[in-house]
Amino acid sequence: MRTELSTRLGVEHAIFGFTPFPAVAAAITRAGGFGVLGAVRYGAAEDLARDLDWMERHTGGLPYGLDVVMPARQVEGVTEADIEGMIPEGHRRFVADTLSAHGVPELAEGEASGWRITGWLEKVARSQLDVAFDYPVKLLANALGSPPADVVDRAHHHGTLVAALAGSARHARRHQEAGLDVVVAQGYEAGGHTGEIATMVLTPEVVDAVDPLPVLAAGGIGSGEQIAAGLALGAQGVWLGSVWLTTEEAELHSAALTRKLLAAGSGDTVRSRALTGKPARQLRTAWTDAWEDPDGPDPLPMPLQGLLVAEAVSRIQKYEVEPLLGTPVGQIVGRMTTTRSVQAVVDDLTRGFERAIDRINRIAGRA
């Protein structure tokens, strides 16, 4: 499964695996794919350095990437405390009431909220980049628009390709104008932040919009047949995130959440602003339902919502309060029914891809 882009990056399979877990990212790379470590959860740059050290020791010189969340525009001098101050009291009360309705215990005195997305703060993202460029990161992906121009320049200077996610052809063209090298076309069915356009429609639109830039198809891809479909749509590779969540290497640290993921069907996700303030596909839970309730408040815009719910999410995760427990995940969650190693998943993907090619060649009268 070789495209111009996969050849350029030196990977065997044009399978890009996004994951917040270093053990998963390294295993994807070792299996012949391209592991991309999500950095948004790293508050401290030292933690990222520690995990990139680990990645170095466990990828044997094979290529991998890093995914950051860096807004292109950021208001100067705004601190996290300023943003906290913009959260309405009624919203805080709604969160407290929802948690207490489900009997979610408080964190211990002085215990920090573990789930705290600070990576989107430009200061944090930049300190992550200072670390990242000490490592042979081959691809830097940005989840939230094009990165600032100086970051693109710096990456190119280091020989690092820059990618960004796009939910529309318009977004994709903006990335091209910003000098990016790769566009990840992320369809409606994907986990995490998504637009309304489904992968089947979005991929070829983006391919045409940014030609000759390489495009990765993302959203709804968790099998070799789906990889074949994504590549048939003109992509130079596929970008998979959800499918790794139930691998043996994933450090979800929650048996209850793993159980929920393995049991969920393709109809059990919802595109909700409840987690970050922007529409993100995730497991449908009592938490997302609470934010859909017309009698409750609307979620706040990003970044307010993420700050508002950070402690709540930590408490829900820590105490594994099952009805509220969720995670970003795409519609392919319906196909995630067993726990397997990353290697087994990749083997399955490549075998399924070959089967799909055999079948479509028979249909095309070429077998």
Candidates 193, 192, 198; CA nearest to 230 is 198
- Rounded CA-CA distance 309/300 in Å is 10
Nearer to its own copies among residue 159 and residue 365 (C-beta): 365
> Token digits for 338?
């067993």
| Rg, Å, the chain Cα set | 20
Q: What's the closest the beta carbon of residue 15 comes to its own copies, in angstroms?
A: 12
x-or-dash pattern for its own copies, window 261-300, by CB under 8 A? ----xxx---------------------------------
x-or-dash pattern for its own copies, window 137-176, by CB under 8 A? -------------------------------xx-------
Sequence-distant (≥ 6) Cβ neighbours of residue 243 within 8 angstroms:
17, 221, 222, 332, 335, 336, 345
Nearer to its own copies among residue 3 and residue 258 (C-beta): 3
Contact in structure between 214 and 14 (CB atoms under 8 Å): no
- Rounded CA-CA distance 125/118 in Å is 8
Q: What's the closest the beta carbon of residue 350 comes to its own copies, in angstroms?
A: 10
Q: What's the closest the beta carbon of residue 196 comes to its own copies, in angstroms?
A: 6
Question: CA distances (Å), 184 to each of 23, 63, 114, 329, in order?
Answer: 23, 18, 29, 17
Q: What's the closest the beta carbon of residue 222 comes to its own copies, in angstroms?
A: 8
Nearer to its own copies among residue 26 and residue 238 (C-beta): 238
x-or-dash pattern for its own copies, window 184-213, by CB under 8 A? ---xxx-----xxxxxxxx-xx--------
> Which range, of 41-49, 114-122, 230-238, 248-256, touches its own copies by CB under 8 A?
230-238
Residue 240 lies near its own copies (rule: CB under 8 A): no
Site for its own copies, residues 343 to 362, rule: CB under 8 A: 353-354, 356-357, 359-361
Q: What's the closest the beta carbon of residue 180 comes to its own copies, in angstroms?
A: 21
Instruction: Provide the CA 106 distance to its chain's centre, in angstroms.
Output: 29
What is the 8-class DSSP label of residue 150?
Answer: H
Residue 231 lies near its own copies (rule: CB under 8 A): yes
Instruction: Provide the CA 226 distance to its chain's centre, in angstroms.
Output: 18
Site for its own copies, residues 11 to 30, rule: CB under 8 A: 14
Residue 100 lies near its own copies (rule: CB under 8 A): no
Nearer to its own copies among residue 221 and residue 250 (C-beta): 221
Identify the residue among 62, 228, 264, 316 touching its own copies (CB under 8 A): 228
Sequence-distant (≥ 6) Cβ neighbours of residue 312 within 8 angstroms:
95, 98, 99, 104, 287
Q: Which residues, in sequence order, are bridge partners of residue 65?
A: 36, 139
Contact in structure between 261 and 327 (CB atoms under 8 Å): yes
Identify the residue among 220, 299, 306, 326 touching its own copies (CB under 8 A): 220
Q: What's the closest the beta carbon of residue 47 comes to its own copies, in angstroms?
A: 34
Tokens 């020989």 locate to 159
Q: What's the closest the beta carbon of residue 242 comes to its own copies, in angstroms?
A: 11
- Rounded CA-CA distance 34/67 in Å is 12
Residue 366 lies near its own copies (rule: CB under 8 A): yes
Q: How many helices, marked H, and strands, marked E, lie in the chain?
A: 14, 11
Residue ranges in contact with its own copies by CB under 8 A: 1-3, 14, 168-169, 187-189, 195-202, 204-205, 219-221, 223, 225-226, 228-234, 265-267, 330-332, 334-335, 353-354, 356-357, 359-361, 363-366
